[in-house]
Amino acid sequence: MKKVHTILFTIIFLCSLGLCFNTENSYMAAVVDYAHIDGKYAKEILSANLEQYLQLMRNASRDLADIIVFPEYGLTDIETMYEVVYQNVSNLEEYSTFVPDPELELVPCEDRKMENFSVQLINISCAARIHSLYTVVNLLEKAENNETGNMEFFNTNVVFDRLGKVIAKYRKIHLSEESFLKPGTELVTFETDFGVTFGILTCFDILFKYPALDILSLPNVTDIIFPTAWYSETPFLQALSVQHGYVKTNGINFLAAGLQEPWKQDGGSGVFLADGTIAESYITASKQTKIIIEEVPIIEEPIPASTCVNPIDDNKNNSRTLRKKRSAHEQLNDIDNFPITRENISEYTFEPLAKGPRTLTQVCVGEKEFCCTFNVTVDKSSRLESNYTY
């Protein structure tokens, strides 16, 4: 009997350290569509949003999430950064923190006395440890340039493991109206104890081959983390359409956490699955934080590109489909009020594509100043019923 008690104690102790992990073929993901809290001073802004983050981590833990993703600029807000830089770029230091090199395997929660780390970095590390929760948070990173001695600032996603250790940091490569920051250069991935290797992108990065496609060529990457503060514009750049399109094209799982500022056309979060299913997505005209928690199947091997032609049966009577329909219905009235910018397509050049099995079409602007050639092959061997959704 004593031996049994010893074994049980050992199991419980290991789990408390985050050393137990799910051996099933799925994991629980939480993404946060976050309504930022404004303020007048750096300490006030950071403290208020940190408090919300810690509560959201507690909520995710109660729902047995394995990983939680927060949006871009959730702690600081991009407009605040513009105002600070306008006054004096050095004021960014109040909003920023040093971030340890993941190779050092540091746990900020254990190094509270180190002045290099901000209160936000330390407390989130502690919360990740307490709740045994992989945590991805976007923040303003500062780093001293060894050659010039000047302080440089980065838009950085920091990843904590279940012990609160910094295991990855990704600096946004393609900055969008962030001239006060320095772009990153490196692709970043991280592994988890539930057998998934994640790649990381931030917002505007998704529109560029490097890193959006190149990250998928790295070993074992099947899932993507995507913190964003996306400015929606129709018809080409609506947040949820871009996110879902990337998933349908590449056959990966995708965790998107959006900053929710609808008055600036910002918003759009979701959990998208490799087979094209939208586990849940969310966009709103209201200022109200929402946490999405969904079960994500683990991809044993990459999904072939042909996935894109497989229609999803929206009539299938399962809980996920019903939940998705209810969620969409609840948003209908609200989303009508979401302000959105529209691309002026009056100056675009349009040419119809021939309907033959193989079409070669050239479309030019003006007097052939700029031309694009489209080589399209249509395969009619697959007899699919018409479907207005994927």
> What is the Cα 74 distance to its own chain's centre?
12
Identify the structural domains of the chain with CATH numbers, from first to last. Answer: 24-341 (3.60.110.10)
Could you tell me where the DSSP H helices lie in the chain? 2-16, 42-62, 78-87, 119-130, 209-212, 239-250, 319-335
b/e code 224-236 from CB counts within 10 Å (16+ = b): bbbbbbbbbeeee
Those residues of the chain that have pLDDT short of 70 are: 1-24, 112-115, 302-335, 380-390
DSSP string, 124-168: HHHHHHHTT-EEEEEEEEEEE-TTT--EEEEEEEEEE-TTS-EEE
* Nearest alpha carbon to residue 282 among 291, 63, 135, 320: 291
Rounded CA gap, 358 and 135, in Å? 48
CA distance 200 to 206: 10
Query: Closest Cα to residue 223, out of 320, 297, 171?
Result: 297
Q: Where are the beta strands (DSSP E) in 204-326?
A: 221-228, 233-234, 253-258, 269-272, 278-282, 290-297
Distance CA 129, CA 162 (A): 5
Please give the pLDDT value at position 2: 46
The DSSP symbol for 34 reads B
Residue of 272, 223, 283 whose CA lies nearest to 248? 272
Cα 222 to Cα 274: distance, rounded to the nearest angstrom: 9
Residue 303 confidence (pLDDT): 59
> How confident is the model at residue 382, as a pLDDT?
60
CA angle 303, 306, 310 (to 5 degrees): 100
What is the predicted pLDDT for the residue at 344? 86
Cβ proximity of 164 and 190 under 8 Å: no
Q: Which pTM does this prediction carry?
A: 0.83
The whole-angstrom separation of Cα 26 and Cα 222 is 13
Cis link prior to 211 (omega < 30° from 0)?
yes
How many CB atoms are located within 10 Å of the residue 342 CB?
8
Q: Would you state the pLDDT for residue 3?
A: 46
- For β-strands 197-200 and 221-228, DSSP reports them as parallel
